[in-house]
Structure 1
Amino acid sequence: MTTRLNPYLNFRSQAREALEFYHSALGGTIEMMTFADGGMSEGPADADLIMHGAVISEDGLTIFAADTPASMPDPVVGTAVNISLSTYEGDLTPVWDKLTEGAEIVQPFELAPWGDRFGLFNDKFGIAWLVNQGPGEPPA
Structure 2
Amino acid sequence: MGSRIDPCITFNGNARQAMEFYREVFGGELELGTVADFGSPDAPNADKVMHSRLETPAGYTLMAWDFPDDRPGHPPYRPGNNVALFLGGDDSELREYFQKLTEGGSVTLPLKRQVWGDEAGSLVDRFGISWMFNISTRHP
**TM-score, normalisation: structure 2:** 0.49
- The structure whose residues are more often strand, as a share, is 2
**TM-score with structure 1 setting the length:** 0.49
* Greater C-alpha Rg: 1
